Structure 1
Amino acid sequence: MTTEVVVMNRAGVALAADSAVTVDMGQSSKVRDSALKVFMLSKYRPVGVMVYNNASLLGVPLETAIKLFRKELGRTGHANLENYGDALVDFLENHRRLFPEVAQDRYFVAALEVEYERIADLVEKALASGVYGSGGEEEQETAAETANRVVEERLAFWEGLDDADYYKVDAGDIVGRNSGVVHGVIDRMFLGWTGLSDEARRHLYKIAENLVGKDYFPPDVFTGLVIAGFGEDEHYPVVQHLQVGGMYGNRLKVRPQTLHEVSDAVPSEVLSFAYRDMVDGFLDGISPAVFEHLGDVAAFIREMPVRALDGVAGIAPEAKEKAAEIILQESSRKAAEFARNVLRGARARRGQIDQAVEMLSLKELAQVASTLVGLSSFEHQMSLDREMVGGPVDVAVVSKGDGFIWIDRKHYFPKELNNHFFENYFDGVAEGDEDVVREEEEEETSDGE
């Protein structure tokens, strides 16, 4: 888990991310605070990118892929910020050395195993909640029926999802090409499930097709990309949010999210990604957990007086019914008023913060972004659960005139011992650009960027 924050106004955009990363190690996992999540997307253009959730694509670190893209991009600029995201997607889709078909098929099988494990867990929970005898043929048949039912229900879930129309692939062809592997995974994952019907096996195969073709990204698998900065024709910052759910048939499964743009109508904005509860709670003045129960509280306000009236003895039924109607009208009005006031208060608080952000300098944008990430880190530090947000906070600011500037950046090597890195950083720059390079080298504070 991670927390990433974007704070922007007409002057520029600040990016901030923590350093926590969860490393799965078979039956256990460790949380480390050394992950790099903020990167320059171009050495020469005012564009940055943040990565959250899964930091690799088909086993390739996104850090590596982003830096290869940056090298290929060179000095090329794009009219709009959104074009940089499109160019990155095109680069990833067409880089066969990084993502050969064998790697794509391997990713598909791994994602399928995760889904089948989820189904197996659902079956185990269903069996655990049932009442069974001490053993025997009758119990085995009941367990088999339960397993078949759970598989059927899981297929119904997948069939109810929208198609992933944002990328064109033939799911049947991709799964058909790996049909032997799919059936092998089914045999291995559901070995010992005596009584698993042929229909259930067909359902499991159909789920494999839906995994490719439906608009669903398993929460622990997808990669989030937050691209922020300026296109050549843009004077105010723009943020593009993409979610990547793997690659199938040489096509990247990319779900486009809302494009956020600073304008005269929207002069500032604060955005949070990945773990958002603490940041959203601060911005709205109310915890998201409370928001989730707002409807329950409103229902309590509406219904409780009537329930209390039912418990009052000595009132004639007709009189009680008439009184209940009057009370329900008033309590319903109060419940609706309560919900409106809570929502109005949240909107007012966020509006005040947006107004304050509108007036911030570039330095202050960075401070706000860093502080909001720090709040999430502090919340996890004070929790009894494992700290999923933490470590040093990397902060960068992107402006139209100055480009990508590091404010805070963790280093994995000492600068004074690696002069060769900085001397070679701008290798390949066209002759005559030495002054530009010198200025950029003076601003460059990254250890590996």
Structure 2
Amino acid sequence: MRIALYHLENILDKTNSILQQITDINPLILKQIILNCTEEYNQIISQNIGEFYTNNVENISYYSRDIEAVVTNNINIDKIPMDADDINKIVSCVSSAIISECYSQIKTGIVIAGYGEKEIFPSIYEYLIELKLGDSLKYTLVNKSEIGISVDEEKSDSAIMTFAQSEMAHTFVTGINPELEHKLKEEIINIVGPITERYEEVRNHLNLPVGELNEEQTNILKTLGDSIIHSIITELEEIQKEKHIHPFVQMVATLDKQQMAELAETLVSLTSFKRKMSMDTETVGGPIDVAIISKGEGFIWIKRKEYFDSKLNNHYFTKDCQYTRRDFND
């Protein structure tokens, strides 16, 4: 039910700032605000309907009482006059959110990499997973890469994929910190986007005749603003690809297995070092496990840390013990 609570909190987020101000003054207004936020959240959900939703509309109904308990325990129904219909609207919204493609913070990720029985070249798939309902697993394919001889939109001759805290690897490959890149694009949109609203400034600066824009002129200016934004962002992305991404990925295609292992370890080490040298929480650190998967040799450890001191456990590294441990894991 933590997922239900997450979606309920999303609904209530917009009202949290006024809960204390309005609850004792006019509960009816607060009730209407919550119901309006519920309707807005329903609209978001309606745009994120997938196969999991279709297959589990009936299954989620078995948990309606639990979801209702989450709702009533987190909304002060003693002070906010909500009847059964109002509660049902919120419960229905939260239920739909759980089985929609809207993921909560409780989601996790899984990466599947390697070779199929018939594939000559490797592939890698990254999924988001949140819950299992009945016989259905709620998951979404986030990213994938397939290596092949014929390079097209589906396949490439090499690829680099990063997961979790990947800002340093992203910076190394693309030439710009992802947070800075996002902020830069956001500011371009904020500056150029409201060009029609800034018309008065432009008119005064150019000493143009006083007069309001008609609808046609407004649309022309808006189209111009959108075109400028698209041109700037496209040019930035092309420079990234030409100067950073493509040369790096092409270089990766020429590396042997040992060099690729060293590259992977270095990229993880960069993140660890950056975390250590900043005020951020150091969530990446310590020895790094490195492995290679190849068609002929399968899964091979290049570096692997143990939970014990190897000098004190020489017997572990004897042949018999290694076979025993491998069989046990199998």
- Deviation string 1:275-298 (CA, Å, 9 cap, x unpaired) is 333322221112223432326337
- Which deviates more from structure 2 when the two are superposed, residues 260-269 or residues 352-361? 260-269
**2:240 paired with 1:342:** no
Q: Determine whether 1:355 maps to 2:279.
A: no
Matches within 5 A, 1:64-143: 109-127=1-19, 136=24, 138-143=25-30
Q: Identify the structure with the greater strand proportion.
A: 1
Q: Indicate whether 1:156 and 2:43 are aligned.
A: yes
Partner of 2:124: 239
Distance 2:141 2:230 in 1: 35
Any gaps of 5 or more consecutive residues in structure 2?
A: 214-220
Once the two structures are superposed, the pairs formed by residues 276-295 of structure 1 within 5 Å of their partners are: 276-292=166-182, 293-294=184-185
CA gap of 1:205–1:418, structure 2 versus 1, over 3 A, is farther
> Does the C-alpha gap of structure 1 residues 408 and 353 become closer, same or farther in structure 2, counting only changes over 3 Å?
same
The corresponding residue for 1:436 is none
Asked whether 1:317 is paired with 2:202, we answer no
TM-score (norm 2): 0.77
Q: CA deviation at 1:342?
A: 1.4
Partner amino acid, structure 2, of 1:297: I
1:206 aligned to which of 71, 92, 96: 92
Alpha-carbon spacing, 1:148–1:401, altered in 2? closer, same or farther (3 Å)? same
Q: Distance in 1 between the 2:56 and 2:225 partners?
A: 55
% same residue? 22
User: How many Å apart are 1:241 and its aligned residue?
Assistant: 2.0
Letter in 1 for 2:203: D
Closer, same or farther in 2 for the Cα pair 1:335/1:116, shift >3 Å?
closer
In the alignment, residue 310 of structure 1 is paired with which amino acid? R
Cα drift, residue 392 of structure 1: 2.9
Of Structure 1 and Structure 2, the greater helix share is in 2
Are positions 1:395 and 2:290 aligned together? yes
Partner SS, residue 253 of structure 1: strand
SS of 2:80 mapped into structure 1: coil
State the Cα distance separating 1:331 from its structure 2 match. Answer: 9.8
AA of the residue aligned to 1:422: Q
Q: Residues 167 and 255 of structure 1: is their aligned pair in 2 closer, same or farther, counting only changes over 3 Å?
A: farther
TM-superposition CA deviations, 1:55-90 (whole Å, max 9, x none)? xxxxxxxxxxxxxxxxxxxxxxxxxxxxxxxxxxxx
> For residue 229 of structure 1, what is the aligned residue in structure 2?
114
Contact 1:299–1:335 (CA<8 Å) still a contact in 2? no
Letter in 1 for 2:110: L
Q: CA–CA distance in 2 between the matches of 1:203 and 1:244?
A: 27
Given that 2:109 and 2:126 are in contact with CA atoms closer than 8 Å, whether structure 1 keeps it comes out as: yes
Q: CA deviation at 1:368?
A: 1.1
Instruction: Tell me which moved more, 404-413 or 383-392.
Output: 383-392
2:187 is aligned to: 296
Report 1 or 2 for greater relative contact order, CA contacts < 8 Å, sequence distance ≥ 6. 1
Unaligned runs of 5+ in 1: 1-108, 322-327, 429-447
Check 1:247–1:335 CA distance in 2 against 1; reply closer, same or farther (3 A cut). Answer: closer
TM-score (norm: length of structure 1): 0.58
Task: Say if 1:396 and 1:404, in contact at 8 Å, map to a contact too.
Answer: yes
RMSD: 3.5
Residue in 2 that maps onto 1:3: none
Contact 1:298/1:336, CA 8 A, preserved across alignment: no
How far apart in 1 are the matches of 2:185 and 2:191? 10
Q: Decide whether aligned partners of structure 1 residues 374 and 196 sit closer, same or farther in structure 2, where only a CA change above 3 A counts.
A: farther
